[in-house]
A = this chain, B = another copy of it.
Amino acid sequence: LTSASHSISSFFSADDWEYHQSAERYFRNLINVSESTVYRRILAPCLMITAFSALVAFYNSFALPTLAFALAPHTLLGSALSLLLVFRTNASYGRLVEGRRMWGAVVRNAREWVRLTTVYFPEELQPEALAFIQAFAIVLKGQLRPGRTRSDPKDLTRCRYDVQSKVRKVLGPEAAAYVLRARNGPGVVARALSRNVIKAVQWPAPIPFWVAQRCEDIITELVNAASGADRLFQTPIPVSYTRHTSRSLMLWLLTLPFALWPVMGPSLVPACFFVAYVLIGIDELGVQIEEPSAILPLVPLLNKIRFEIQTAVRERTGSLNYAT
């Protein structure tokens, strides 16, 4: 799930949309199924179910008292199971959308902070204000997506987001040490942003109070978005929901060969694979997107903040002051 090639982990462009919406997608998707992460991840359980159904088919072909049921219970449960699977996947999708909104709010409010500080703040206070806003996003990412360490240093999935060096680069060693030691990093940075606002208010040429107020609002919204993303990370869809779905699905699939034998005979084996692929795939989809921070394109999102700061700084110091 942390592979760089994961399709959601970069932004879509107009060309991506054209490719995505082209009518050939139906056959293209069918052919490159083996590259699909869903497919690769669910192959194992699907194959085990297929193997089990082959065993059932083999036994029933030769052993005398064939093991077979009527299809009725599977039909009766089919609709409940489908609803459960699809609703769960939709709940996951709702979490993904919410997570995307939270990170969008972090970026948006960070940019708003950049706009207000570079337009209204005294020049001497701007570097600190801009450094801390960058630190906020870095620390938040470090908290929500620390990456994984593997004991084996050759393991390719071994990766870790290096918060420490990035915060140090942005804040300098002293402040960075403090921020990194804190239990609630984003909270510490938020307090530092508040102190920036106080300084700007007490400056000889103070900022208007309503700009200070707006700055405090931005800090509040940043804290809201951070705590929202944190909430999604810390509280999954109730695991009993997830587990009951997965258990019901497996029981349904493992008893399916017995129910299909009377109507299909040995051709139940590919049928079981097909049914398992579709249904386990829906479940897997829902589990994959359940933790938004793990699959959202955080790197390009954070870059947006960096670029905004660079542009705003260049605008202030640059020769071209187009708007006066």
Contact = CB atoms under 8 A, between A and B. Distances in A.
Interface string A139-158: 00000011010000000000
A178 B237 contact: no
Please tell me how many copies of the chain the complex holds: 5
A313 to B, nearest CB: 12
B112 A220 contact: yes
Contact of A69 (B8, B271, B297): B271
Interface string A165-191: 000000000110111001110011011
A30 B251 contact: yes
A184 B11 contact: no
A163 interface: no
A130 interface: no
A23 interface: yes
Contacts of A248: 277-278, 281
19 contacts: A14-B148, A16-B236, A17-B233, A20-B236, A23-B284, A26-B45, A29-B246, A30-B251, A70-B260, A115-B190, A174-B320, A182-B311, A187-B311, A195-B324, A201-B208, A210-B216, A211-B216, A248-B278, A252-B278
Contacts of A89: 87, 241
A234 to B, nearest CB: 4
B78 A86 contact: no
B85 A184 contact: no
Contacts of A119: 191, 194-195, 198
